[in-house]
């Protein structure tokens, strides 16, 4: 017997021999599902931890929703791990209880979709928090986007589950499976487009350098990958549906894309909150640093040019954000105050720590 001939018949990816946590072989493809789901969970929780640390003093509704979404993602992962333990990723003949595996996989899918839309709602609330204070039109626009996203989330859960027996999802396909998931993907893409267009629309109205605008917009553009992963998932889902008989073995690629979609949706929702991008949100209008600090509002000082051709100006900055420039020859005194409308009352009542991207500058010139 030629040993080289025997060696060529061995699959290098086959790890079914031996005692392994998640073997990979001709009848068991659960290992990629374990890797995808575990890595996605680790990255999502890790990024959320950074976000909570950064925003621990300015925690808002957007942060609460992403925490809730990550907790739902964690619950989804636990159910998904139980499904893997019960035989998900293996051929049907090797699964001891196919109905239990189907029910667990179905429940994990519902939790995943709910977590996905909580992440979307968190993104919209972040935009509302950044750009809305007294502007009713922008507030209304964000509220409409939020309401539409919630409706899409409810519709998605209904479309994925209505008329589909959870325990029989590996014995027969649901009716109109392709139509269902095409509609679900369409809703997913539409809501993601809103999350991409809305920040660009809001940022471009601000009086700030184009480079700062582009950096802020870029922070939200990471969600483009959510659309790409959603399309890959739909393609895998259609191929799976084309098979005459559903199987916990054939659904592996579909579930891998779904797990990737959830993980990146949670991560990309937090990216605009990371410090590198928060520096871009410090718009530096006229030299004033609108930072993401313990104080919600920034006060800036500006230096005026000489009011006469032969005069000198002197600048003095005070803690209230005022500056006096005195012309020694012409005896003009210019006092400049910069701030945001309502900042005194807001800071004085409750110590608001909201992040606001807005500036209203008031110039007061007094001649004496």
Q: What is the per-residue pLDDT across 195-240, written as a single tens digit (0 to 9) for each?
A: 999 888 888 777 777 887 888 888 888 899 999 999 999 999 999 9
Question: What residues have CB less than 8 Å from 1, skipping those under 6 apart?
Answer: none
Residue 30 lies in a domain: yes
DSSP helix/strand/coil, 164: coil
Look at the pTM and tell me if it is higher than 0.75. Answer: no
Between 239 and 312, the more confident residue is 239
Domain boundary among 258, 281, 304: 281
Task: Give me the residues paired with residue 365 across strands.
Answer: 334
pLDDT tens sequence across 30-62: 899 999 999 999 999 999 998 888 888 888 888
* Residues 232 and 298 occupy one common structural domain: no
DSSP character string of 323-337: EEEE-TTT--EEEEE
Residue 162 lies in a domain: yes
* Residues 105 and 240 occupy one common structural domain: yes
* Residues 176 and 321 occupy one common structural domain: no
* Residues 329 and 349 occupy one common structural domain: yes
The rounded mean pLDDT for the chain is 76
**CB-CB contact of 352 with 295 (8 Å):** no
**CB-CB contact of 90 with 101 (8 Å):** no
pLDDT of residue 310 exceeding 70? no
Token code pair at residue 80: 């998904």
Residue 210 lies in a domain: yes
Domain boundary among 281, 300, 328: 281
Helix, strand, coil abundance in the chain, percent, nearest 5: 60, 5, 35
* Residues 177 and 296 occupy one common structural domain: no
CATH of residue 86's domain is 1.20.1070
The domain in which residue 29 lies consists of: 23-281
Q: Between the CA of residue 332 and those of 110, 232, 307, 311, 337, what are the distances in Å? A: 70, 68, 8, 10, 16
Residue 1 lies in a domain: no
Cα–Cα distance between 180 and 55 in angstroms, integer?
39
* Residues 183 and 160 occupy one common structural domain: yes
- Which stretches of the chain are assigned E, i.e. beta strand? 315-317, 322-326, 333-338, 361-366
Closest CA to 236 of 250, 254, 224, 221: 254
CB-facing half-sphere around the CA of 31: CA atoms within 13 A: 14
Number of domains in the chain: 2
pLDDT tens sequence across 271-294: 888 764 555 454 433 333 333 333
* Residues 96 and 203 occupy one common structural domain: yes
Question: What residues have CB less than 8 Å from 211, skipping those under 6 apart?
Answer: none
Domain boundary among 281, 303, 325: 281
* Residues 303 and 237 occupy one common structural domain: no
* Residues 71 and 201 occupy one common structural domain: yes
* Residues 234 and 309 occupy one common structural domain: no
């Amino acid at each position: 017997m030629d040993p080289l001939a025997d060696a060529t018949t061995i699959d290098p990816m086959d790890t079914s021999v031996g005692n392994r946590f998640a073997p990979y072989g001709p009848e068991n493809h659960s290992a990629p599902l374990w890797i995808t789901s575990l890595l996605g969970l680790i990255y999502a929780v890790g990024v959320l931890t950074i976000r909570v640390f950064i925003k621990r003093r300015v925690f808002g509704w957007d942060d609460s929703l992403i925490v809730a979404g990550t907790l739902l993602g964690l619950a989804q992962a636990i159910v998904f791990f139980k499904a893997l333990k019960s035989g998900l990723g293996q051929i049907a003949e090797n699964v001891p209880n196919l109905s239990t595996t189907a029910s667990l996989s179905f429940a994990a899918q519902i939790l995943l979709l709910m977590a996905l839309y909580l992440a979307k709602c968190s993104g919209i609330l972040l935009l509302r928090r950044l750009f809305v204070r007294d502007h009713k039109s922008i507030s209304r626009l964000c509220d409409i986007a939020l309401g539409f996203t919630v409706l899409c989330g409810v519709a998605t859960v209904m479309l994925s589950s209505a008329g589909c027996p959870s325990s029989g999802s590996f014995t027969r396909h649901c009716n109109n499976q392709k139509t269902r998931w095409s509609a679900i993907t369409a809703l997913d893409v539409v809501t993601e487009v809103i999350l991409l267009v809305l920040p660009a629309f809001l940022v471009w109205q601000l009086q700030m350098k184009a480079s700062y605008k582009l950096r802020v917009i870029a922070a939200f553009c990471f969600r483009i990958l959510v659309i790409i992963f959603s399309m890959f998932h739909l393609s895998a889902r259609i191929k799976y549906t084309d098979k005459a008989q559903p199987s916990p073995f054939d659904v592996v690629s579909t579930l891998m894309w779904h797990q990737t979609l959830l993980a990146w949706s949670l991560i990309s929702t937090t990216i605009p909150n990371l410090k590198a991008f928060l520096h871009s949100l410090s718009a530096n209008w006229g030299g004033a640093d609108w930072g993401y600090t313990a104080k919600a509002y920034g006060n800036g000082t500006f230096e005026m040019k000489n009011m006469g051709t032969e005069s000198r100006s002197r600048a003095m900055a005070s803690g209230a954000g005022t500056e006096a420039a005195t012309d020694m020859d012409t005896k003009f005194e210019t006092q400049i105050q910069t701030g945001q409308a309502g900042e005194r009352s807001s800071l004085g009542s409750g110590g608001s720590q909201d992040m606001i991207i807005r500036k209203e500058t008031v110039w007061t010139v007094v001649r004496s």
